[in-house]
Amino acid sequence: MKKIISSIVFIFSIALLSIFITILVSENSNIVSYLYKDKIVKEVEDKISLNVNFNDLRVKWEGLNPQLIFDDLSLYSKKIIVLF
């Protein structure tokens, strides 16, 4: 019985440590911007039919819910309008 409880506590500790490290790294580095910027831009452009541009992407965590913070967000129309 002690071995089972010890194993459960160990697994729970590893899970908490993994969550903590994920939050710590993603909040205090620009790894999210580096890894996911192009994917996020493509998804947003596909959904709203506008060109999207932003300089930086930061993550702020509220519990287990991430908030994405975009710096210098710009939206452009995909249509080219020629003015005479």
DSSP code at position 9: H
Alpha helices by DSSP H, 1-84 = 2-27, 31-48
| pTM of the predicted protein model | 0.59
Which residues, including other chains, have CB under 8 Å from residue 59's CB and lie 6 or more apart?
26, 27, 32, 66, 67, 68, 69
Hey, what's the torsion of the CAs at 18, 8, 64, 29, to 10 degrees?
-10
Residue-wise pLDDT tens digits, 20-64: 898 888 777 778 788 888 998 999 889 988 899 888 888 888 877
- pLDDT of res. 18: 93
**Residue 84: pLDDT over 90:** no
Residue-wise pLDDT tens digits, 52-79: 988 888 888 887 788 888 888 888 887 7
